[in-house]
Amino acid sequence: MQVTEEDGQMFAPAAGRNRDAIEAVLAEYLPKEGNVLEIASGTGQHISHFAQKFTNLNWQPSDIDTKRRASVDAWRDYLKLENISAARHVDIAAKGWVDELDRVDFIMMVNLLHLISQTDMVNFMCGAADLLHKDGRIFIYGPFMREGVLTSDGDEKFHADLQAQNSLIGYKNIEDVIDNLLGFGLEVKACVEMPANNIALVAQLVN
Ligand SMILES: C[S@@+](CC[C@H](N)C(=O)[O-])C[C@H]1O[C@@H](n2cnc3c(N)ncnc32)[C@H](O)[C@@H]1O
Distance CA(131)–CA(31), nearest Å, equals: 16
Between the CA of 189 and the centroid of ligand 1 the distance, in Å, is 24
Distance CA(198)–CA(74), nearest Å, equals: 28
Distance CA(181)–CA(191), nearest Å, equals: 13
The per-residue pLDDT for 81 is 96
The per-residue pLDDT for 14 is 83
Candidates 200, 194, 202; CA nearest to 17 is: 194
CB of 40 shorter than 6 A to ligand 1: yes
Distance CA(42)–CA(45), nearest Å, equals: 8
Mean per-residue pLDDT for 91-114? 97
**What residue ranges do the domains of the chain occupy?**
4-205
The per-residue pLDDT for 3 is 63
One-letter amino acid identity for 93? A
Between the CA of 39 and the centroid of ligand 1 the distance, in Å, is 7
CB of 12 shorter than 6 A to ligand 1: yes
* Angle between helix 118-131 and helix 174-183 axes, rounded to 10 deg: 40
Render pLDDT for 13-67 as a digit per residue (tens, 0 to 9): 888 899 999 999 999 999 999 999 999 999 999 999 999 999 999 999 999 999 9
pLDDT band at 1 (very low <50, low <70, confident <90, very high): low
Whole-model pTM? 0.96
Render pLDDT for 159-174 as a digit per residue (tens, 0 to 9): 999 999 999 999 999 9
One-letter amino acid identity for 194? M
What is the SS3 assignment for 201? Answer: strand
Between the CA of 34 and the centroid of ligand 1 the distance, in Å, is 23
Q: What is the CATH number of domain 4-205?
A: 3.40.50.150
Mean per-residue pLDDT for 97-101? 96
Q: How many CB atoms lie within 10 A of CB 95?
A: 9
